[in-house]
């Protein structure tokens, strides 16, 4: 699974599961991100901070 497809799945479900969070963390640490991937991750962080997307591990 790519970062973009993972983020698309997160937006569709409106939540980040612990498994998805783990996948993103491992992927981010394993390789260099492209500019579009960084941008999409920043958008995801803002949506989590604003409450549009739930972070289940923070519950």
Task: Give DSSP secondary structure letters for 34-59.
Answer: PHHHHHHHHHHHHHHHHTSSEEGGG-
**Mind listing the pLDDT tens digit for each residue in 4-55?**
999 999 999 999 999 999 999 999 999 999 999 999 999 999 999 999 999 9
Predicted pLDDT of residue 36: 93
Flag whether pLDDT at 57 surpasses 90.
no
Give the residue extent of every domain in the chain.
3-52
Predicted pLDDT of residue 58: 72
CB 1 within 8 A of CB 41: no
Task: Please give the model's pTM, rounded to 2 decimal places.
Answer: 0.84
């Amino acid at each position: 699974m790519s970062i973009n497809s993972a983020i698309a799945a997160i937006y569709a479900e409106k939540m980040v599961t612990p498994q998805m969070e783990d996948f993103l963390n491992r992927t981010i640490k394993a390789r260099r991100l492209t500019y579009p991937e960084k941008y999409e991750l920043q958008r995801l962080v803002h949506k989590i901070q604003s409450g549009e997307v739930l972070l289940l591990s923070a519950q």
